[in-house]
Structure 1
């Protein structure tokens, strides 16, 4: 059975050199759960995903997609990128708070 994390998070806009990204950031207990899952996966399979990522099935509203979350700052924060397609489907704008569910794969 897969572990599931749900949190109400604000959508953040981040401007980088290569473009604009929209994301949500998992902190606290949710980040600890993701870090623990990453460690167990590494111990079981001996490898980690690119950039230390964890594969997930993400859901915001009625939109579900397969993606990865990425650790930040020694795994105390984890980032989920939200595509324009998801933003349009869920009528999201920076600053909007939504329930975000991750099923850890």
Structure 2
């Protein structure tokens, strides 16, 4: 399943580190939720992601507060693509089987 989405990059402050996430749209999250898959830690779903010219494998995670999946955006990608907190990020996700 291929999903294209856009969301505003936000920072989540963890115990010692800051993590950055892009929330997927409600529609994309619903489409992903509708596909049965084996359970994984924290409800994660493996994906191949493309943002700009950067492509990598990671997992998306359900965010109960927002009601959507969120995509972690690592520092190397943010720096390479010139993305900062508050920027709208367009992402293409290939949702993997596991």
Fold match by TM threshold 0.5: yes
Structure 1: stretches of 5+ with no match in the other structure? 43-47
**Using a 3 Å threshold, how does the CA distance of structure 1 residues 15 and 35 change in structure 2: closer, same or farther?**
same
Q: How does 1:27-38 map to 2 (within 5 A)?
A: 27-37=25-35
Encode CA deviations 1:33-56: one digit per residue, 9 max, x unaligned.
12112xx113xxxxx121111100
Q: Which runs of 4+ in 1 moved over 2 A?
A: none
Aligned to 2:4: 6
Structure 2: stretches of 5+ with no match in the other structure? none
TM-score, scaled to structure 1: 0.83
- Which structure carries more helix by proportion? 1
Aligned to 1:100: 91
CA distance in 2, matches of 1:104, 1:8: 16
CA distance in 2, matches of 1:72, 1:9: 14
Q: Does 1:54 align with 2:52?
A: no
Which of the two has higher C-alpha Rg?
1
TM-score, scaled to structure 2: 0.88
Taking only aligned residues, the RMSD between alpha carbons, in angstroms, comes to 1.7
**Using a 3 Å threshold, how does the CA distance of structure 1 residues 84 and 49 change in structure 2: closer, same or farther?**
same
